[in-house]
Every structure is written in C-alpha cells, then in structure tokens.
C-alpha cells in the first residue's frame, strides 16, 4: 500500500554501510553531545558482511536520560578508548561508502564535530542517506507516529514486522544492534518499493 512512496529506497545500492551512535545526551548550550558507542554494519549484496561497535570514552558526562536509553554508565565509559585513538579504524569503514543513518541530522553532525575537535580528517565518502527522513511520506499515509524528523526506528520495526533486536535487551539501545536493525528496516522498505514496480 502506497509503495510508490518508498521509491527513494529502491535507489539505494546493494552495497553500503549503516552507522549509528549512542551518546552522552542531546545537544545543549554547550554544543553537541559526545559519542559513547559507534556501530557500523557493512552491507554487501544486501546482506550483512560485518558488524562492529567502537566504545568511545566521552569528554562530557553521560546524562541520566541517556544512561536509561543505552545502559552505559559514566564509570564504564571512563574505561573506553578515546575517539582519536580509534578514528583510523572507523574512517576505514567509512571510506568511499554510502552511509545510511536513521536520524542523520542527529548522528552525522556529532561525528563531524568529533572529527573537527580532534583535528582529524573525514575520508572521502559517497554521501549520507537518512532513512528516517526518507520514510516520512510513507509513514504519514500509513498513519504511523512521526516526529518532525520522521518515524522512529521502533515505529518502522513494528509496522514492517521486522524482528525487534532491542527486545532481547529489554528495549535497551545499542549502536551495533541499532545499525543492524536499521539495515533490516531499510532492506524491507527497499523490497516493498521494488515489489510495487512488478
């Protein structure tokens, strides 16, 4: 139903990466939050080729609200490696890739902020695709709950009948798990859109 509104998903290549972050909180008067974990799922021929998670020591404290979402305490995060120490590994995953992010307007500026803060450089990429923004028109006509950013990953997971990977963790978010969940949602929406062309 209204599968033509998923046309944008059918334009995605078969190879891309999905990126997700868990952070210290929301942007505030002191600027963007810090990354606590960064997950990347590598997609090759529409299948998961690899999935990794980088645990990053934040410079800012983790808010109580953020801790309740991802379950990582300040004590735990203090043991993680710094962002700059892991950047070369992260950058290698990003290089020359199309990067899919659910809520790119949140995650991408935070990543850019970290790169600038540590005086690092972003590798060349193909671009950034926001699966949340791309799903707005379809979600609205399907009467799914939408914020101004678009439908949440939870809303799409439920509407599309995708296995909820967060359920196994009592709803706790994780950068690696959420990048895998985004991949599953994106591929279902892509297939829906392709089926409408039959």
The pLDDT assigned to 90 comes to 98
| For helices 175-195 and 153-160, angle between their N-to-C axes, nearest 10 degrees | 50
The pLDDT assigned to 198 comes to 52
Query: How many separate helices (H) and strands (E) can be counted in the chain?
Result: 9, 7
Q: What is the pLDDT of residues 44-86, one digit of tens each?
A: 999 999 999 999 999 999 999 999 999 999 999 999 999 999 9
Most confident of 38-42, 146-150, 159-163: 38-42
**Rounded Cα distance, 181 and 126, in Å:** 22
Q: What is the pLDDT of residues 101-130, one digit of tens each?
A: 999 999 999 999 999 999 999 999 999 999
Element (H, E) at 136: helix 136-141
Of how many residues is the chain composed? 198
Q: Are 156 and 133 in contact (CB under 8 A)?
A: no
Residue 2 has pLDDT above 90, yes or no: no
Residue 1 has pLDDT above 80, yes or no: no
For the record, the structure tokens of 106 come out as 């949140």
Mean pLDDT of the chain: 95
Domain chopping of the chain, boundaries: 3-190
**Rounded Cα distance, 197 and 45, in Å:** 20
Choosing among 3.30.1330.40, 2.60.40.10, 3.40.50.1010, 3.30.420.10, the CATH entry for 3-190 is 3.30.420.10
């Amino acid at each position: 139903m209204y599968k033509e509104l998923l046309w944008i998903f059918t334009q995605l290549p078969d190879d891309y990466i999905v990126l997700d972050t868990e952070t210290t909180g929301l942007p505030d008067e002191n600027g963007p939050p810090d990354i606590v974990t960064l997950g990347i799922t590598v997609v090759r021929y529409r299948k998961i080729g690899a999935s990794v998670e980088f645990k990053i020591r934040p410079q800012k404290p983790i808010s109580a609200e953020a801790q309740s979402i991802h379950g990582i305490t300040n004590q735990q995060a203090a043991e993680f490696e710094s962002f700059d120490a892991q950047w070369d590994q992260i950058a290698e995953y990003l290089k020359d890739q199309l990067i899919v992010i659910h809520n790119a307007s949140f995650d991408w500026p935070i990543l850019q902020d970290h790169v600038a803060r540590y005086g690092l450089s972003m590798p060349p990429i193909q671009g950034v695709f926001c699966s949340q923004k791309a799903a707005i028109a379809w979600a609205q006509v399907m009467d799914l709950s939408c914020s101004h950013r678009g439908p949440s990953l939870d809303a799409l997971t439920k509407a599309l009948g995708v296995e909820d990977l967060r359920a196994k963790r009592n709803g706790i978010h994780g950068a690696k798990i959420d990048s895998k969940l985004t991949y599953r949602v994106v591929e279902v929406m892509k297939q829906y859109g392709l089926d409408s062309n039959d």
